[in-house]
Amino acid sequence: MFTTKAFIKKNKVGNYLKHVREHYIRDDISCGLQECETCLPVESFLSPDHENKCSLFTSNHYLILDTNVVLDQMDILEESVIGNVIILHTVLNEVKHRSLPIYKRLCAVIENPSRHFYVFINDHHQGTYLQQNEGELINDYNDRCIRAACSWYINHAPKQKFVFLTDDSANRIKAQKEDIPSYTVSEYVQNLNTSGLTDKLSRKDFHGNDFTKDVFPNHLSNVELLTGIREGKLLQGTFRASRDNFLEGFVNVDSYEEPVIVQGRAGLNRSVDGDTVAVELLKEEEWVCPSEIILEDEGVGDESVDDVVTKENELQKATKKKSGAKPTGRVVGIIRRKWRQYCGILQGGIDGVYQMFVPADKSIPKIKIETRQAEFLRTQKLIVTIDSWPKHSRYPHGHFVRALGNIGDQTTENEVILLEHDVPHSQFSEEVLNCLPKMPWIITDDDVKKRVDLRHLDICSVDPPGCTDIDDALHCRPLADGKLEVGVHIADVSHFIRPGTPLDREAASRATTVYLVNNRIDMVPALLSSNLCSLRGGEERFAFSCIWEMDQNANILSTRFHKSIIKSRKAMTYEEAQLIIDDKTKQDALAEALRSLNKLAKIMKQRRLVNGALVLASPEVKIQMDSETMEPLDVEVKKLFETNSMIEEFMLQANISVAEKILEEFPDCAMLRRHPVPPATNFDPLVKAGRHLGFEIRVDSGKNLAKSLDEAVNTKNPYLNTMFRILATRCMLQAVYFVSGTYQKEEYFHYGLAVPLYTHFTSPIRRYADIIVHRLLAVICGADSTYPDLLDKNKTTELCQNLNYRNRMAQYAGRASIAFNTHGNYKMRKVTCCMSVKTPCKFLYHDMAWNVPYLWPKKAKRPIFLNTMKRTRHKKPEVWLFTLLTPL
Amino acid sequence: MSKNRELLSKIGLRQDGRRADELRRIRCKLGVFTEPDGSAYLEQGLTKVLAAVYGPHQVRGSRSKAQHDSAVVNCQFSMAVFSTGERKKRPRGDRKSTEISIHLRQALTAAIKVELYPWTQIDVYVEVLHADGGIYPACVNAATLALIDAGIPLKEYVCACTASLANNDVPLLDVSHQEEIIGGPTLTVAALPMSGKIVLMEMSQRFHVDHLQKVLDKALQGCKDIKSILDEAVKSHIQDVGSSTGWASTT
């Protein structure tokens, strides 16, 4: 059967065009019921064995859902008590159209066989297809289609029971008239014999009585917003809430250089961090400057707003200055919500079913939820999602999704960090583990034939202590006529991870190994990461080698790449390697090699710095853990040896050499890494700080920046320079992966390293980008063949986007973990700090970007980093004494 | 927009409700005009094409084009102004139509027994009434029917079909306009389906050589399917014509 769909659409230029599409109606679409004998048998997860236990019905039944149920009550649908659900194609399409995240969650449920979901393609089925009537709204048409499908099922399988769930009362009444048993979700869920499920119901119907006073002004309607934006009366931007002040936020508007400040209840008007909002600018005389005070929401869940009013007044006083006022506005409407699921805890001291949820992320407001298990939940970290924020309610309304575990447990806190940063951290599935090589793994003659045998070379690896995923090793030996042969050997992960396998897909989705303080979330299973790929000392391993011939001045004379077999003589730590280099009595081949490498590295580093590479400080913090309880004991800044920079230099050089090679052979599908030049305005805070302290920081080029940073030294205050460098780090943009064909050649530049081409090659165990680069390089060496996705520019671009996102999140997660543990380190002991003699200091800060814990006493002009202080314990156990090593 | 749309849904249906290996509906009619020597009308989905054949006749224009051992096949392709969503004046002889004309000639010359008519010319005019993807294959198929209607000896049917690749894995048959927009490489094949010879092959985008074989196989299968549909139409047309002249009753 055949029909056409015709519709009229407006094109970009503004012309109205008529589109006609074919629409085939089929007779071979199955109903999916196992008991059905008339339909063609088809793979369906619907099962007569599953029973929906609802006390409204005496017998088992199948569920058919309306679109609004899927959109609003996804948390309920993810519960395994609900099964045997028929999802109509109309519903699926509408969900996809309305909300992609929900659609993805729905697909995950549909694909899970144990959930017994089935997709019925009603819009191509000859019995359920309906023609859209003239003038009929698309929503009404969809509702009609859904009801028609319900009726069809009831007639098709008269022995079975079908229940239609919808929260749309008009649709429900119509359905009941057509003799379709239909209920609302809350009616249905309340009669399920499972406790705790009602907490998860999303509530849109909080209607206060008519006398409740509005707490917030009205939002404008969509049409008003759109016309306002088009006419330039309103500005569109992303709302960012302040972390320190719950009554303040900023809206980043494209056309404005500086963000627009919004303040107070009326100013914020129910926007939540991340939302796309419309703001109206106030008159210039009403503009304020950003507040510097800290305000916390101390509300306890009732709807009174008296405490907020006092705080608003306080805020107004604090920000009403004539000088330094910035553009200020107020939010008049929300264009798009960016609500997600939030981790956090319940606020204590509230009785009743309505509880206050305090998100871990300070920029998110407290959320009001309804629960009957508050006692238990108070001990737990939970996940909550926002459902609505009506104007008469002081807080957004949400519902409980699930509990993560006891508050304060290391595992729970890690889980929170991983969830908040969207890090995939489930166990590797059976399917993935099946892709691993079978143990015991041995090197066959065939392998030896395909690779260059480098087992005779004195290769060694240098890594941080406790490192089990060693992905790089080095060697250096003198050649005739004074030249040197330097080799970088990288674990050959692409030998084990073949393209297209489940293992490969999993690694691509994880993109990177995530390092938390006391945990590591591997990108590939441990068998590979810590054993077969890890270049451990004294074991024969497969490697991908990049070998240079260099002269004594570290000039590269030739480069070659090949797959090899190596046997590392020793896996050393930075400290061990440093000791060997410094110990003049050691004269063996390994020591000599290390010394030559170190010498070359120094020359290379110098050359790089002259070219304008930046040295930016980010003192990495190391946290000592108690090995039994996994409680953090102490924080120290990581020590750096010469050998750290030695390894770094050779890795950089290897990456650069590989980048040149793969770009030459694959001009439009090589995976490279670029670091864009930051816009000049990014440097404003740095320049300002410099000028304030009497230094001219020049930011017109990377080279000048590096130079002026070097010059900004105050002999009295050695930390000043570090602070400048930390500040400079914050001005930078993120370095990103990209595909060579998608950018102009000039844009390949890596600003931080000051090299025209760069990629990642040296850590395939913990980064997926390196695996792709390995595969490209293997094709060039003739060691492997290409596969379709490797050469597909669009596919690789998609992959890059995922890699960039995951990398950023992994970085944030790592920092959050350090922050939690350093915080925990002091906070759990209720620190009252005593500065030098008698300066009490309440605030212990931990700035994520600076990566160092620091104190900022109220009277001090600048923060004091913990590494400049000696910490001793006071006789009272909860008090720490800090003695300054450098004067204030 | 194209990102949210998939060529082939997880359930295995395409945007318009077809499965991956199904052709669009083909309807055709021979002998639609009286003026030309042969004519045909063909619908492939919503793509609608008219074809008319004149000849073989004396070579018109410059006599030097005439060949001593074969007939000259002259093809002219054009699209009606109303054939696409946007009304557009389409001058004859623009790049696109010249290209399709040349491709048409290549495919038809391979099928026509040109050696039977030296010093002559065969004109094939094709007009697209509605374009909805797969224009070229529809033109080839319509032209074949028109040639048969004109009684010009052919080696065999020449049929064309497109195929694409969904989700980088599944070959799709007979691509519609909507699917062309969503993306994916389109492979156009014109073949002599009975002998399995390929007379023309064109790709809109590159794809990996690993996929080529399965997409090509799918396209060739499509050509064979189309051939049987055309064959059916020719038989019923001849029956109609035959019965009206009276000789069908002798069977």
> Per-residue confidence at A883, pLDDT binned at 50, 70, 90?
very low
Residue A846 pLDDT > 50: no
Rounded to an integer, the average pLDDT of A450-462 is 89
Q: How far apart are the first and last CA of chain A?
A: 85
Q: Please give the C-alpha separations between residue A380 and each of A343, A348, A351, A373, A412, in angstroms, as whole numbers.
A: 10, 12, 17, 11, 9
Identify the residue with better confidence: A59 or A153: A153
CATH number assigned to the domain comprising residue A382: 2.40.50.700
Residues 157-216, chain B: which have Cβ within 8 Å of A? 168, 176, 178, 207-208, 210-211
* A232/chain B closest Cα distance in angstroms: 27
State residue A885's pLDDT score.
41
Question: Which chain A residues are Cβ-neighbours of B24 within 8 angstroms?
Answer: 22
Interchain proximity B16–A25, CB inside 8 Å = no
Phi-psi region of A382 (alpha: psi -120 to 50; beta: other; left: phi over 0): beta
Interchain proximity A96–B24, CB inside 8 Å = no
Q: pLDDT digits over A642-654, tens only? A: 888 888 889 999 9
State residue A853's pLDDT score.
46
* Token digits of residue A650: 């050779």
Q: One-letter amino acid identity for A365?
A: P
* Token digits of residue A562: 């090949």
* Token digits of residue A701: 């080029």
State residue A744's pLDDT score.
86
- Among B10, B45, B85, whose Cβ lies nearest the Cβ of A19? B85
DSSP A674-706: EBPPPPGGGGHHHHHHHHHTT-----SSHHHHH
Quick one: closest CA in A to B16, which residue? A23
Q: One-letter amino acid identity for A585?
A: T
How many pairs of residues across A and B have Cβ atoms under 8 Å apart? 58
Of A407, A423, A454, the one marking the end of a domain is A407
* Token digits of residue A336: 């798009």
Rounded to an integer, the average pLDDT of A404-419 is 80
Choose the mutation target among A5, A24, A102, A124 for the interface with B, i.e. most B CBs under 10 Å.
A24
HSE, side-chain direction, 13 A CA sphere, residue A593 = 23
State residue A570's pLDDT score.
87
Residue B250 pLDDT > 60: no
Rounded to an integer, the average pLDDT of B238-249 is 78
Q: What percent of chain A has pLDDT over 90?
A: 12
For residues A376 and A444, state if they share a domain: no
* Token digits of residue B53: 């054949």
Q: pLDDT digits over A265-280, tens only? A: 888 888 888 888 898 8
Residue A177 located in a structural domain: yes
What is the average pLDDT score of chain A?
A: 80
Least confident of A370-374, A383-387, A532-536, A802-806: A370-374
Least confident of A135-149, A358-372, A871-885, B9-23: A871-885
Put simply, whether B121 touches A (Cβ < 8 Å) is no
For residues A512 and A651, state if they share a domain: yes
For residues A83 and A97, state if they share a domain: yes
Nearest to A311 by CA among A291, A296, A301, A322: A296
Answer for the pair A844, A831: CB distance below 8 angstroms, yes or no: yes
Residue A215 located in a structural domain: no
Neighbours of A769 (CB within 10 A): 24
Residue A304 pLDDT > 80: no
Residue A406 pLDDT > 90: no
For residues A412 and A274, state if they share a domain: no
Residues A509, A513, A519, A524: what is their CA dihedral angle, to the nearest 10 degrees? Answer: 70
> Per-residue confidence at A833, pLDDT binned at 50, 70, 90?
very low
Question: Which chain B residues are Cβ-neighbours of A20 within 8 angstroms?
Answer: 46, 132
State residue B146's pLDDT score.
96
Answer for the pair A276, A334: CB distance below 8 angstroms, yes or no: yes
Residue A724 located in a structural domain: no
Rounded to an integer, the average pLDDT of A707-729 is 73
Least confident of A366-375, A558-567, A629-638: A629-638
CA gap A805, A548 in Å, rounded: 34
Q: pLDDT digits over B18-34, tens only? A: 888 899 999 999 999 99
Of A824, A839, A860, the one marking the end of a domain is A824
For residues A526 and A556, state if they share a domain: yes
Place of tokens 């056409």: A4
Pairing of strands A632-637, A367-370: unpaired
State residue A776's pLDDT score.
92
> Per-residue confidence at A431, pLDDT binned at 50, 70, 90?
confident
Quick one: closest CA in B to A108, which residue? B10
List Cβ neighbours of A709 (8 Å cut-off, separation of 6 or more).
A614, A615, A697, A721, A724, A725, A728
List Cβ neighbours of A773 (8 Å cut-off, separation of 6 or more).
A658, A662, A671, A759, A760, A761
Put simply, whether B103 touches A (Cβ < 8 Å) is no
Interchain proximity B11–A119, CB inside 8 Å = yes
Using omega within 30 degrees of 0 as the cis cutoff, is the peptide bond preceding B91 cis?
no
Residues A197, A200, A204, A207: what is their CA dihedral angle, to the nearest 10 degrees? Answer: 70
Q: Please give the C-alpha separations between residue A513 and each of A421, A506, A519, A572, A808, in angstroms, as whole numbers.
A: 13, 12, 11, 22, 12
Reported as type and span, the H/E element at residue B160 is: strand B159-166
For residues A651 and A588, state if they share a domain: yes
Quick one: closest CA in A to B25, which residue? A2
Identify the residue with better confidence: A296 or A663: A663
- Among B24, B132, B211, whose Cβ lies nearest the Cβ of A788? B211
Identify the residue with better confidence: A374 or A853: A374
State residue A529's pLDDT score.
85
Quick one: closest CA in B to A7, which residue? B85
Q: Looking at mean pLDDT, say which of A530-534, A550-554, B30-34 comes out highest.
A: B30-34
State residue B75's pLDDT score.
94
Answer for the pair A629, A828: CB distance below 8 angstroms, yes or no: no
For residues A153 and A275, state if they share a domain: no
CA gap A511, A522 in Å, rounded: 10
CA gap A445, A128 in Å, rounded: 64
CA gap A604, A584 in Å, rounded: 23
For residues A294 and A326, state if they share a domain: yes
CA A123 remoteness from chain centre: 37
Rounded to an integer, the average pLDDT of A45-66 is 83
Of A320, A336, A352, the one marking the end of a domain is A336
Identify the residue with better confidence: B73 or A255: B73
> Per-residue confidence at A299, pLDDT binned at 50, 70, 90?
low
Residue B159 in 3-state DSSP?
strand
Q: pLDDT digits over B21-68, tens only? A: 899 999 999 999 999 999 999 999 889 999 999 989 999 877 788 889
The boundaries of the domain holding residue A381 are 341-407
Q: Please give the C-alpha separations between residue A450 and each of A443, A791, B66, in angstroms, as whole numbers.
A: 11, 24, 61
Residue B96 pLDDT > 50: yes
For residue A459, the cross-strand partners are: A568
* A124/chain B closest Cα distance in angstroms: 6
CA A830 remoteness from chain centre: 31
* B221/chain A closest Cα distance in angstroms: 21
Interface residues from chain A to B (CB-CB < 8 Å): 2, 4, 11, 15, 17-26, 89, 96-97, 100, 107, 111, 119, 121, 123-124, 786-789, 791-792, 795
Residue B187 pLDDT > 90: yes
DSSP B162-224: EEEEETTTEEEES--HHHHHH---EEEEEEETTTTEEEEEEESS---HHHHHHHHHHHHHHHH
Over A747-769, what HEC string results?
Answer: HHCECCCCECCCCCCCCCCCEHH
Phi-psi region of A77 (alpha: psi -120 to 50; beta: other; left: phi over 0): alpha
* B242/chain A closest Cα distance in angstroms: 31
> Per-residue confidence at A837, pLDDT binned at 50, 70, 90?
very low
Interchain proximity B85–A121, CB inside 8 Å = no
State residue A80's pLDDT score.
81
> Per-residue confidence at A627, pLDDT binned at 50, 70, 90?
low
State residue A11's pLDDT score.
59
Nearest to B187 by CA among B209, B171, B202, B166: B202
- Among B17, B45, B211, whose Cβ lies nearest the Cβ of A124? B17
Question: Which chain A residues are Cβ-neighbours of B132 within 8 angstroms?
Answer: 20, 22
Question: Which chain A residues are Cβ-neighbours of B86 within 8 angstroms?
Answer: 11, 15, 17
For residues A413 and A399, state if they share a domain: no
CA gap B232, B69 in Å, rounded: 33
Least confident of A393-402, A623-632, B61-70: A623-632
* Token digits of residue A117: 């979901």
Question: Which chain B residues are Cβ-neighbours of A795 within 8 angstroms?
Answer: 168
State residue A480's pLDDT score.
82
In terms of C-beta density within 10 A (0-12 exposed, 13-18 middle, 19 or more buried), how is residue B242 classed? middle
State residue A847's pLDDT score.
37
Long-range contacts of the stretch A873-877 (C-beta < 8 A, 24+) = A874/A834, A877/A829
State residue A81's pLDDT score.
82
Identify the residue with better confidence: A837 or A677: A677
What is the number of domains present in chain A? Answer: 5
Q: Provide the CATH number for the domain formed by B3-238 in this structure.
A: 3.30.230.70
For residues A483 and A532, state if they share a domain: yes
State residue A761's pLDDT score.
92
**Which of the 8 DSSP states describes residue A185?**
H
Residue A863 pLDDT > 60: no
State residue A293's pLDDT score.
67
SS3 content of chain B, % helix, strand, coil (to 5): 35, 30, 35
Nearest to A104 by CA among A399, A387, A422, A522: A422
For residues A535 and A626, state if they share a domain: yes
Identify the residue with better confidence: B11 or A765: A765
Identify the residue with better confidence: A411 or A832: A411
Answer for the pair A149, A90: CB distance below 8 angstroms, yes or no: yes
State residue A877's pLDDT score.
44
Q: Model's pTM, two decimal places?
A: 0.68
> Per-residue confidence at B172, pLDDT binned at 50, 70, 90?
very high
State residue A823's pLDDT score.
52
Q: pLDDT digits over A70-94, tens only? A: 888 888 888 888 888 999 999 998 9
List Cβ neighbours of A34 (8 Å cut-off, separation of 6 or more).
A44, A46, A47, A48
Residue A21 located in a structural domain: no
For residues A812 and A861, state if they share a domain: no
State residue B55's pLDDT score.
83
Q: Looking at mean pLDDT, say which of A102-106, A445-449, B28-32 comes out highest.
A: B28-32
List Cβ neighbours of B80 (8 Å cut-off, separation of 6 or more).
B90, B127, B128, B129, B130
CA gap A422, A810 in Å, rounded: 9
Neighbours of B127 (CB within 10 A): 17
State residue A204's pLDDT score.
62
Residue A1 pLDDT > 60: no
